[in-house]
Structure 1
Amino acid sequence: MSELIRSARRRLGLSIYGLAERLGVTAGAVSQLERSERAGTIKLSSLERALEALGERLTTSTSPATMADRHLLSARSAAEAIGAELRSADPSAALRLTSQAIDHFRQARSENEIADFLEEPEPIGDERWDTLLATAVAWDAGERGITPPTWTDRPPLTSDWVPGPDTEHSDEYIAYLRAAAEPAFLEKGIVVRARDLASA
């Protein structure tokens, strides 16, 4: 997994025998240390001791886990990708990305990942899609008992909208969709069913 001991030893121009002498062990024991480090089975105390003998100090640090670490969308990256699809005139792909973002939000495992997902995105540039993403995030957060961030509280659209390709829908079709639409979305003027937001 790593070669910290071997690399430090070579930087000093020190042979296995030289390090063995510093540690008060045999050359075979040093060779075994280096092999166990490469295999990822070395004890932390043994690694620290060997590095100290080489005049180096082992340090570790942590950083909050992010959605990107697991190759998952956050609200920020989803908004950016949705905007790119809209600029490419592909609203179907934009809708799929909205669904995928919600699916990825559900995969957030830690408080850090949830907080990372919920950071406010840059505007998509289309009020309807900004409202759809915000409403979808607020809806799913509420379903999970998570307080939605303030950026998800957007005013309703001025007229009903069916997300996806900009096609004319009959009044009958709109009425059919409205009957099965999610109330949280209808309140925002978005006519969409929960299954329409399910990631395939």
Structure 2
Amino acid sequence: MQSHGARYEPLTVARLGALLVGADETRRWRLVAEFLEEYRWEPLEKRAALLNEEPSATGDEHWDVFLAALAEHLAAKDGRGAPSWVETRSLRRFWFPFNTPAARVDAVVHAPAAFRRRGVYVSTQELNVA
């Protein structure tokens, strides 16, 4: 018996960006976690396609830059160069998404290079549980 339902499509970073528009912070982190989970399950050779398309503006510069850092970070973990669109995105002022004293210290020490370079201070651990 054949299903006529929609085929499963993993979340792309561009689609993630569209979903972040107008969402509150809690929902945004849930969406990031969902994206990361789906990304982890995709075969290595299919992952690059999930990062290639540039997300439209989310309406929040912090999150626009976060998406660029995330794409570069994931590409680097897979041993690939970042998509070209990430190069134009960075913050003029540092951003600590988890802004408690302990989280700030952890992020300064453990922020992946792709995030740190853009002024986004989030620790790898926060990305894993996001």
Give yes or no for TM over 0.5.
Answer: yes
**SS of residue in 2 equivalent to 1:69:** coil
Selected match of 1:146 from 80, 86, 92: 80
Mapped contact 2:13–2:54 kept (Cα < 8 A):
yes
Following TM superposition, the consecutive aligned residue runs of length 4 or more in structure 1 with deviations greater than 4 angstroms are 110-113
Deviation readout 1:120-172 (Å, 9 max, x if unpaired): 221212111011011111101111012221112234311111125xxx645x7
**RMSD across aligned positions (CA):** 2.7
Give runs of aligned pairs for residues 157-196 of structure 1, distance below 5 A: 157-163=91-97, 169-170=100-101, 174-196=104-126
Q: Aligned letter for 1:81? A: L
- On the 8 A contact 2:64/2:89 being kept in 1, the answer is no
Q: Quick one: structure 1 residues 173 and 154, their matched pair in 2 at CA, closer, same or farther if it must change by over 3 Å?
A: same
Higher relative contact order (CA 8 A, sep 6+): 2
Structure 2 residue runs without a partner (length 5+): none
Which protein shows a greater Rg? 1
Residue correspondences, number: 127
Does the 8 Å CA contact 1:108/1:114 hold for their aligned counterparts? no
Is residue 77 from structure 1 mapped to residue 19 from structure 2 by the alignment?
no
Q: Is the 8 A contact 1:157 1:189 kept in 2?
A: yes
TM-score using structure 2 length: 0.78
Percent sequence identity over aligned pairs? 26
* Shift, 1:193, TM fit: 0.6
Unaligned stretches of 5+ in structure 1? 3-67
Letter in 2 for 1:119: E
